[in-house]
Structure formats: structure tokens, C-alpha cells
Structure 1
Amino acid sequence: MSEPSILIGLHYRGRLSLGEHRARLGFAAFHWSIIIVGTPSDPHKIHRFDVTDGFIFNDDGTDANPTRDWIFQHQTTNSLAEITRYLGAVRVGKVLAPRMSAAEELKLFFEALPLPRKENAEGEEEQEQNCVSWVRAAVRALETSAWCQLAEQPLNLDDLMGFALTHADTRIRDLIAIPDVIDYPRQEKKREGAVRALISYIKRPRKG
């Protein structure tokens, strides 16, 4: 049986993911998460890990997060489509250690990551912290973990995040034709693609 996959999940944020809002918000136009798919003990079990400072409702309908603090979340589903506001995902690696397929072990790993801070310390200049920065930190933590294997080492995180953002934009434009899960290409595949594009450019018909 194949190893569980590690995905970067992208989630629709309504009008914030479209038009002027998308252009203004950039990466934050979508909600981001880490998704583990297909464990050996239960290949249909899916785990989503993320952080949110939004509404979280109790069973009685009351808001469990009235102060809008950043909170760690773990959602378990039987399919990707059941994940809250799921739009698409990029496969970035796989789980190698059987023990890390257990929900408890996965939760302990991701829950240990620092939560985003609401505000930076006085005089401190730092990029805004949110679900995007948390996913970046999660990928970096995965990169140094012996229990998983990512698409490439070292990982170009900026390139990966840009690749995932482009996939989200493409999915919104055509949910039918564009697959929801795509692989992050290894560096050699990127080079092959660049070479093919260059050859195609050189061979293109020229006017005059």
C-alpha cells in the first residue's frame, strides 16, 4: 500500500478569493491548510490541520472564539470534498514512518507549531502572520522531519507557495476540467519543462 500523501490545502473564502479582493489580498485570498491523505490503517481517512481566527461555533450555536484568537484545528473526513470550503490541493510529499499515520501523532506534531501572532512587537518589522505563514512554518517543520519525504530537498518554499496559489486561481476558473489535486513538480521536471518551452519558442514560425 502506498504511503499517505502530504498536501497543501487551499480553501475558498467567498468573494475574498475573487476579483479586486484576490488582487489585494494575495496569498491571504484563500485559506491554507496541511492535509494528510490515505493512512495505511484507514486509506479513506483524511486529516486537515490549520489555524483560524474566525468564527467557531459550539453545538448550541454560540461562538467559541469571540475574541478572534488564533486557534489550531483538526478536521477528519472520509473525502477531500467533505473538507470545509475545499477548493484544491498540491501534493508535496509522503509520510514514511507508520507511527506518524496515527491521528494522535499527527495532531501532536502540527499542534506544537507556534500559532500566528495578532500583532508584532513594538518596533518589530515582520510579515503578517496568518494561516499562510502557519502553513509555511508547517512545511519547514516537515522538511526537517525524518518521518516524511518532500518533493525535493531543499524545498524552494516561495516557489511552492506561488505554484499552489496559481493552482487555486486556475481551479476557480474551471472546477470541472482542472483536477483538484496536482503534484508539485521536482526540480528536474521544471528544468525539462523550461527546455521544452525554449525549444518550442525557437521552432515557432516567424513572419516575414
Structure 2
Amino acid sequence: MRPISEEDLTARARIRDVAMALFAEQGVKATTIRGIAQAAGVSPGLVQHHFGSKEELRQSCDEYVLSYVREQVNAGVSERNLEKPEFIENVHRTAPPLMKYLGRALVDGSPEAAAMFDELVNVTEDNLAREGHSEADHRARATLLTAMKLGITVLHEHVSRALGTDLYGPQGALRVGKAQLDLIKPEFLGRELFEQARAGLEKFEGQR
């Protein structure tokens, strides 16, 4: 087997990114290897060389998004970076295509999309449990909060239309982020995490 060159790696990433965009826009069933290759500016054979089948390519996209979600949750929540505007700017810059793909994957269904939902529920549940309130059903609260937040992702086109601005643009993301904090009691997320998120959004807004 020939060694993988830097050009191969670049082409692989481009194919994956194009596939995510097409899967998000038109669904997996309507997307073809030939269509992905044409949009990525490569041959169908190169797509198959890197990913094999369309199903394997979809699985690769799922795994990539799951890895991204894990990294951002860990950086933002576990490592307490929510108040850093550079962290928020990086998420706003890198997240939109992945979140659009995730929204479609949650609707279409896949094991990795289910794993992403479950992992976000687990992280949210752990954070709620650290805040006390032993009488509360943390699992139910975490599940519903995750569903409500991901519902924005699934319905992003409708949310953007209602706001009159792109949800994934800087203005739309700021409006939605601030509105979410307005609707959630600080005690629910934990006051420290809540205040970090609020401070991060205010700093980010001040830099724009």
C-alpha cells in the first residue's frame, strides 16, 4: 500500500467536509458518491479510495462531529472556558457546518447521532448533580434540556427565518445565546457556569 501523502490528507478532509454539507442539505439517501466527488473537485474513485462506500463516509462524518462535540464540551464546560471570547469566537467559526450536519443526522437517525445525544445528556446530568438539589430528577432535566438545545439545531432554518438573521452568523448566535441564558435560571446550570457563559457572551459582543 502506498504511503498517505499530505495531498491525500487534504483531499480526504475536503471530501468529508463536502459530504457533511451535502448530507445536511439533502440527506444521505439523495446524496451520491458522484455528487460528492463533483462538489469536492475529485474523482469518484478517490472518494472510494479514502472512504470506501457512502455508508462508511457517513460514519466518518458522524465520528468527526462526535469528536468535535466532545472536544468543545470538555473545553467549554469541564475546562471552564465559557467566559473566554476567543473560545466563543472559535466555536462560532467552526461549529455551523457540523451543527447543520448534526441536526440532519438527528432527524435521519444514526448510531453516532444517538451517541452524541446520550453523551450530551450525560455531561449535562453530571453538571446538574454537582450543583446539589438531591431531590431533583437530574436525568429527566438533563434529557429535556439537551433536547431543547438540540431542537434549535434541528430547526435552525426556521429559527433563522423567525429571527430575521442567520442563526449561525455572529449576530444570530449572540441573540440565541443571550436568549437561552435569559430563559434558564442560574441555579439550574449552576451559578458559576451560568456567570461564565454570560460573561463570555458579553466580552465577545463587546469585541464585535
TM-score, scaled to structure 1: 0.32
Please identify which structure carries the higher helix content.
2
